[in-house]
Amino acid sequence: MSDHELASTKDTDGFGRMRELLARPIDPSVVAANTRNIAQPEPAHEGTLRSLLIFQLGGERFALEASESHRVVAVTTVRRVPHRTNAVFAGLANVAGELTAVGRLDHALGLAEFQPSGQARFVVIGAAQDRWAIPVDLVEGVLRLGEARFQSPPATVARAADGCAIALVRVDANANASLVALLDTARVCTMLGRSLR
């Protein structure tokens, strides 16, 4: 069937366009490329997929295990607590009906200040008795990434953030893109918890 003949096929049942698509002739170069592709040994496996919550804080990108982030909610008023509030423990906020301790990760990690804006969110982490709401500048979303994208953090510990990072993750497909620190929720909670002592 020629292109012309295909185009002129009468669209009687509404599936004409679809039939057209499936029946279109395939360019030999496409066939060759696909053949090459299939004939190749399986490409470097991405490994088991892990869901990560990617967020921005103080001009940097971070990741947390999505399963360990209980909630992402709009930032609400934070009440300072007399004699207890400090640079890291900001105070208490109403997070979905629960009064939750707010921990300034930006201060704890020595990042640029968190900037309250319409996009700012609380990311809630930690066990029931050790819950923290962390104000972040922006939540990008949840990504499912294969193990292959994860690297061990560098041996040299240069910044506070590295103390909490358990891995560096290549979030973007581009191999040259910068790596994002995956923070360990337990270590983050411990670090924030120090502000209460």
Binding site for other proteins (CB under 8 A): 76-77, 79-85, 92-94, 96-99, 101, 129-130, 193, 196-197
Nearer to other proteins by Cβ, of 92 and 168: the residue is: 92
Nearer to other proteins by Cβ, of 14 and 82: the residue is: 82
Nearer to other proteins by Cβ, of 58 and 103: the residue is: 103
Give min distance, CB of 123 to other proteins, in A.
18
Nearer to other proteins by Cβ, of 90 and 169: the residue is: 90
CA 21 to chain centre: 36
Between CA 57 and CA 144 the distance in angstroms is: 21
Of 175, 191, 171, the closest CA to residue 60 belongs to: 171
Count CB atoms within 10 A of the CB of residue 18. 11
Q: Which residues contact 66 (CB under 8 A, 6 or more apart)?
A: 51, 52, 53, 142
Give min distance, CB of 150 to other proteins, in A.
32
Give min distance, CB of 94 to other proteins, in A.
5
Give min distance, CB of 106 to other proteins, in A.
20
Give min distance, CB of 77 to other proteins, in A.
5
| DSSP code per residue over 91-117 | EEEEETTEEEEEE-HHHHHT-SPP---
Order the strands of the 69-74 sheet from edge to edge: 69-74, 121-125, 132-136, 98-103, 89-95, 78-79
Provide the 8-state DSSP code for 164.
H
Nearer to other proteins by Cβ, of 132 and 150: the residue is: 132
